[in-house]
């Protein structure tokens, strides 16, 4: 069962869904402390988004609605994190590890405001492949998406306008990574 599915079950089991309950479930399942976001500029939007979602759904919103509200308010896509778990991709974003496991092959690292992205191999990948260089087919796929090559061991992308990279671009990036993992590292 994915984290998103587990979140849905936990929410359904509550007598009353509150913002505090949502924050606790997200922290328990995803390891993300949304409550600490109260010190961030996104805090008012996050609280308002969750409150609006609760009000719009008579206090019984679907987990998907809450996850969408969280993503819209502070750019944390819990559905995407849930879908990527166990896919051998580490994700460093918003100044912290969102996903990370010892057997991950690649790191996706976003900068401030998600306006830039760097992709590089992990030590585990180097052990398996015998090189720190990205697979050529991954480099080619990333270049087609608009990434620049930063030597053999990584690629990066920066939004020309300094805006957050759109979810669709993130999705295409993850699809390229997952395709290489599926084709070349499924048995490792």
Task: Residue 120: give its domain's CATH number.
Answer: 3.30.1370
Tally of structural domains, the chain: 2
- Burial of residue 58 (number of CB atoms within 10 Å: 0-12, 13-18, 19+): exposed
- Identify which has the larger pLDDT, 186 or 158: 158
Confidence of residue 44 (pLDDT cuts 50, 70, 90): low
Query: Which residues form the domain of 63?
Result: 3-81
Q: Looking at the structure, do residues 37 and 74 belong to the same domain, yes or no?
A: yes
Do 101 and 173 belong to one domain? yes
pLDDT in tens, 96-111: 899 999 999 999 999 8
CA dihedral 7, 10, 16, 22 (to 10 degrees): -30
Looking at the structure, tell me whether residues 63 and 92 fall in a common domain: no
Domain edge (last residue) among 39, 59, 81: 81
Task: Please give the mean pLDDT across all residues of the chain.
Answer: 90
pLDDT of residue 128: 95
Last residue within a domain, chosen from 81, 98, 131? 81
The verdict on 129 and 166 lying in the same domain is yes
pLDDT of 38: 46
Question: In the structure, what pLDDT confidence band is assigned to residue 39 with cuts at 50, 70 and 90?
Answer: very low
Q: What is the pTM of this model?
A: 0.85
Is residue 32 domain-shared with residue 116, that is, in the same domain? no
């Amino acid at each position: 069962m994915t984290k998103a599915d587990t979140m849905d079950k936990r929410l359904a089991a509550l007598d009353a869904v509150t913002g505090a309950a949502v924050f606790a479930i997200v922290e328990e399942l995803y390891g993300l402390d949304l409550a600490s976001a109260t010190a961030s500029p996104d805090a008012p939007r996050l609280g308002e988004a969750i409150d609006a979602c609760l009000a719009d759904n008579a206090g019984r919103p679907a987990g998907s609605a809450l996850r969408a509200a969280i993503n819209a308010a502070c750019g944390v896509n819990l559905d995407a994190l849930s879908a990527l778990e166990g896919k051998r991709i580490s994700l460093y974003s918003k100044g912290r590890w969102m996903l990370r496991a010892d057997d991950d092959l690649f790191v996706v690292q976003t900068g401030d405001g998600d306006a830039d992205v760097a992709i590089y191999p992990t030590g585990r990948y180097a052990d398996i492949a015998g090189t720190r260089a990205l697979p050529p087919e991954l480099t080619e796929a990333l270049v087609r998406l608009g990434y620049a090559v930063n030597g053999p061991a990584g690629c990066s992308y920066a939004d020309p306008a300094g805006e957050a990279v759109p979810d669709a671009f993130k999705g295409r990036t993850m699809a390229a990574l997952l395709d290489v993992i599926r084709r070349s590292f499924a048995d490792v």
